[in-house]
Amino acid sequence: MKPQILVIDDDAKNIFALCAVLKSRGFTCLTAQSAKEGIGQLIKNDKIGIVLMDMMMPEMDGYEAISLIKAEEKLLDIPIIAVTAQAMTGDREKCLAAGAADYLAKPVDVDLLIHKINQQLGNGITDSE
């Protein structure tokens, strides 16, 4: 069974679109509309195997959320893929420096997303299988 994917994004349309794609590829999708809610879910649910983190959210942005997640020993090994709509020069490096395992710009390339998820989960499954 594939691990659960937590999508943290303040935009319900983005959550819907990402989860529709993930579910169509056999993943179980959990959602949070704020970083605080997402961190709470990570602490309570040990079946979450990867996080898709929107970087631009009110109250707590993705950078701060990633730092808090990576400060929790229990959550340290959960890969986080940073997802951002405001792709600027240096964003990828900034996300990786904050503790993200990988980075994607919106609009998300679905095949690349699935490839990166499988790569982070280490299951070597390709989208065509």
The structural domains of the chain, ordered by start, are 4-121 (3.40.50.2300)
Contact 104, 82 (CB under 8 A): yes
Tens digit of each residue's pLDDT, the chain (129 residues): 778 999 999 999 999 999 999 999 999 999 999 999 999 999 999 999 999 999 999 999 999 999 999 999 999 999 999 998 876 778 888 899 999 999 998 889 999 999 999 999 986 544 444
Helix H or strand E segment including 128: none
- pTM for the predicted model, two decimal places: 0.91
Residue 105 is which amino acid? A
Q: Which residues pair with 105 in a beta bridge?
A: 84
For 76, other C-beta atoms within 10 Å of its C-beta total 10
HSE, side-chain direction, 13 A CA sphere, residue 48: 27
How far is 25 from 13, CA to CA, in rounded Å?
A: 19
